[in-house]
Structure 1
Amino acid sequence: MKDDSRSRRRFLQTTGAAGLAGLVGVAGCSGQSPDDASDSAANGTTQSANQTASGDTATDEPTETEQPVTDEAAEVEATYKSREKYSEPGELLDDFTDLSTWLSNAGELESSSEHAFRGNKSAKLIGKGGRNASIARSFEDTRDLTKKDFSLALRSSTPSKFALFVYLRDPFGNYAVLELRNITMETPDVGWFRTAPGVYETSNTPPDLTQISRIEIVANNATDSDVEVFVDDLRIHDKPDKGYIVFSWDDGRKSYYNDAAPMHDEFEVPAVQAAVPRFVGQNKFMTLGELKERYEAGDEIVAHESISNRFHSLGGNELEKIIQQNKKWLLGHGFEGSNFVVYPGNDYDATALDIVNKYHYMGGMNQSFQPNTTSPYAFDPLVLPRTVGHDLDIAKRVVDLCAKHRNVGILNFHDFANENTMSKGDYRKLLEYVTKEQNVEVINFSELWKLRKSV
């Protein structure tokens, strides 16, 4: 559903500028990016998240030019570390120090003191030889989860090999399954992150959410090898009153300005632009004036980087320098979205998260070609999920799921000429579809971050 007033959105953004000295960023890519990869774990394949849908690497990056000069000096460090400050949303349900209430359905279950997110123990799930690992817990009394979502802390030495499924079952065998379809954390430098997966599907007869009797956590093995997963800090938290959609465009391309922006203005729907500062004004990319025009029209401009500088592949000092430069450029040109970042190629590792956490409040992504949604109140601030906007039917399903289950869907686009982006005609149909849906609101990253901080 569209915002009633585009000018009101612009007013709220500009009046909030003074307090935005340390906002968050969401990462992206240039060229036919690594974001174009097909799903791995959820679909039973192991294509890297750093490959394009056709298996090619990016070929149309512009020649890099001198780093743009900022209009004015800016303090670029965040005033707090969002991952620490917002690490415990909602109510603790299980800290996994006592596994006596959990049953292993598949694979192996161990109590582990090797890694722990909370306390000194976690649950270690192992699926060997291509098998899944699954654990379940029954509630002594059924629970009313009509207005509730779940989140948990996750760590894996095999992140690209599995998808996370969380089943909520009622006493009659009906279920809803919450899914994180793909994990793009790079090995070997792995770490903990929180995930609050949205509903992917339900049984033919939806579960009676007033009577949930059982929860199951599944590491869905997509390979013929082993998966190792640590689970901790299972939490429960409220649902919002409606669903939310974010239209996220990577790279700041001229094609968005020429072809998509007029449709966004027509339907009064905001978008998020993840721009690479040093590419601004070059061939195929928007000029600074065009970015500022889109900002004034209601789009949000956030931090991004080229796939030639994937965060996990850079040394710590080099990565920190790039993040500082990009944020300073955004702040210097008045773009409050500098607090948010989109990772190039969706790649990250534990070191990258530590560095990004010093400068940005929110970002990501774990990306999938299938619906890949989240609760607005409990995701890891720097490990958001999103869905590739390559197919109209899948994108409409994201809208439907978010409307029905009150989740957040971030839809990602690059260029109408790319395989990872639906056609211009289908995009118009998508905008028409989302504006007619009464139970979803299209928002930007600042508004999503406000929701995340509210619990």
Structure 2
Amino acid sequence: MTDSNRRSFVAATAAVGTLGVAGCLSTIDGWGDGGDGEGTGDHDDNDSESEPDDTREFHYHSADELPGETLVSFDDLDGWVTMLDAGDLDADEDDPYSGPQSASLTAAEGTEYAGIYTTRSGGEDLSDSTLSLAVRFADQEQLVLTLELFAPNSSRSVTLRRTLIGPTDRWTRVDFGTAGIDGEPDLSNVREIRLTARRRGATEGPIDCAIDDLRVASRPDRGKVMLLFDGTLESHHEIALEALSEYDFAGVEAVIPETVGNDGRLSLTQLDDLVEAGWDVAARPRTGAQNITDYSDTEQEGLIRQTNAWLENRGFEDGTASFLTPRNVMGPTTRDLVEEYHDRAFRYGGGTNGLPISDPYNLGFFSGNAGEDTKTYIDYAAAHGELAVLHFEEIGPNSMSELAFENLLSYIDDADVDVVTTADLDEYEP
């Protein structure tokens, strides 16, 4: 979004309304080596899966806007096999993300998941790398994508995962973060890669998922942690501010303008205090008990515009760069509007984000109040150069206790990570 787009609407705002996988082992070689089974594992082999991006047509991004290089283009599906009882794999020439076709994964109702895999006899070196994938899905409102890297076998593997809550029928990119490690994998020798798409939040209906342009990029040496505070709650000032200051950390406050100054919520003065302490703010429209997708297109735009206008009119214009998705649900219209009025968007993703970022409008967070699970994701971010965005609501009685919050900050301080705010993400975004 340009500065003029983000800032030109303030005067007009008053006129706008509100708003697990089973399968036979494959003998097919040729993942990333052109199908001859004799590849070296280098990404720059002279083959169809590793051609320089500037030789390909990208329908939704130019190659120079995306980090890294294409590892698998899905222009040729010969090296891919469907898992046992895990749906079907077909070429999809209708609206591919890049090149002449995408890969279509489908599974009928009653089939647990759609899954495919490919093998590489010579191994692929994915050490010090991050993976991202273009995805478009329909029929299901929520989807869980899982990548498994056998390095070199299933007992020495890395699992990457991402939860998507919309948008349906729209291409987006997933920057995969680590979700599990089995044994002691050697990522310089990846022999098999598996991809599954599963329903989330529903058990009925088919799975219909298109994938394209699996990319690999060099990851940073150090992981990043972001502390994201939602709800414009007073405890973020009264408890979190002082606790973070002890470690010289800064957070990000997602501001719901209509709540500022209300009982139990941040006052304008308290919000100023956060910013003076180095915190960033983000725009968070108020939708109450509804999803933003429950509003009409015009109403969604009105919510986004007036939230930005409130921030700008009170000196928090930098906060309009970032959007926190209300109730985590993003529809196609919401996505289009957020791209027009913001530079990035956060919503629930169930884990960490790979760095560098290929899609800043699909940044995932997870709960900062999940005990050992939260610490595990911090460890993954530290070990694999990923971004862990921790989401907090109330700090204090009947929620995350002050002691638990302080212990978590101490854990982060001891970890090999940098605590960042939204302003620090520019370095890792396209």
TM-score (ref. length: structure 1) = 0.76
154, 161, 170: which one aligns with 1:179: 161
**1:199 equivalenced with 2:178 (yes/no):** yes
**Structure 1 residues 218, 443: CA separation in 2 closer, same or farther (over 3 Å shift)?**
same
Matched, 1:339 2:318: no
Distance 1:246 1:274, change over 3 A: same
* Match among 422, 427, 430 for residue 445 of structure 1: 422
Q: By how many angstroms is 1:417 displaced? A: 5.4
What's 2:27 paired with? Answer: none
For residues 334-353 of structure 1, the C-alpha deviation after alignment (integer angstroms, 9 at most, x for no partner) is 32122111011111111111
CA-CA distance at 1:22 after TM superposition: 6.6
Change (3 A) 1:254 1:21: farther
Structure 2 unmatched runs, 5+ = 8-19, 21-59
Per-residue CA deviations over 1:96-135 (Å, capped at 9, x if unaligned) read: 1211121111321111123421134211112231322111
Q: CA deviation at 1:316?
A: 1.7
> Closer, same or farther in 2 for the Cα pair 1:220/1:160, shift >3 Å?
same
Contact 2:258/2:286 (8 A) holds in 1: no
Q: 1:283 matched to which residue of 2?
A: 263
The residue type equivalent to 1:351 in the other structure is T
Higher relative contact order (CA 8 A, sep 6+): 1
> Residue 11 of structure 1 aligns with which residue?
none
Q: Read off the aligned partner of 2:91 and give its amino acid letter.
A: S
Matches within 5 A, 1:347-358: 347-358=329-340
Give the structure 2 partner of residue 167 of structure 1: 148
Q: Of 376, 381, 400, which residue of structure 1 is paired with 2:360?
A: 381
1:362–1:449 contact (8 Å) kept in structure 2: no
Question: AA paired with 2:225?
Answer: I
Match of 1:433 among 403, 411, 423: 411
Q: Is the 8 A contact 1:20 1:339 kept in 2?
A: no
Q: CA deviation at 1:213?
A: 1.9
Task: Report what 2:122 is aligned to.
Answer: 141
Aligned to 1:232: 212
Partner of 2:235: 255
Give the whole-Å Cα distance in 2 for the aligned partners of 1:256 and 1:412. 12
The Cα RMSD (Å) is: 2.4
- In 2, the alpha carbon distance for the partners of 1:394 and 1:245 equals 15
Cα shift at 1:87: 5.5
1:3 aligns with: none
Alignment match, 1:12: none
Task: Tell me which residue corresponds to 2:79.
Answer: 101
Q: Which runs of 5+ in 1 are unaligned?
A: 1-18, 25-40, 42-82
Look up the match of 1:394: 373
Task: Provide, for residues 52-77 of structure 1, a one-character-per-residue CA deviation record: whole Å limited to 9, x for no partner.
Answer: xxxxxxxxxxxxxxxxxxxxxxxxxx
- Opposite residue 339 of structure 2, the aligned amino acid is N
Contact 2:140 / 2:206 at 8 angstroms: preserved in 1? no
In structure 2, do the counterparts of structure 1 residues 130 and 206 end up closer, same or farther at CA, with 3 Å as the change threshold? same
Conserved in 1, the CA contact under 8 Å of 2:359 and 2:429?
no
CA contact (8 A) 2:149 2:193 kept: yes
- In the superposition, relative to structure 1, how do residues 21 and 367 fare at CA in structure 2: closer, same or farther (>3 Å)? same
1:360 equivalent to 2:342? Answer: yes
Residues in 2 aligned to 1:326 and 1:190: alpha-carbon distance in whole angstroms: 27
Distance 1:22 1:397, change over 3 A: farther
Instruction: Pick closer, same or farther for the CA change 1:221–1:375 going to 2, 3 Å.
Output: same
Q: Which residue of 2 aligns with 1:78?
A: none
Give the superposition deviation at 1:217. 0.9
Identical amino acids, percent of aligned pairs: 25
Structure with the greater alpha carbon radius of gyration: 2
Counterparts of 1:350 and 1:365, CA distance in 2: 14
Query: For the structure 1 residues 365 and 87, does the alpha-carbon distance in structure 2 shift closer, same or farther, using more than 3 Å as the test?
Result: farther
Match of 2:198, as an amino acid?
Answer: N
8 Å CA contact retained: 1:307, 1:344: yes
Deviations 1:376-414 (A, max 9, x none): 213421111110222221211111111111111101011
> 1:5 maps to which residue?
none
Question: Which residue of structure 2 lines up, in the alignment, with residue 244 of structure 1?
Answer: 224
SS of the residue corresponding to residue 258 of structure 2 reads helix
**Is the CA contact 2:91–2:102 (under 8 Å) kept in the aligned structure 1?**
yes
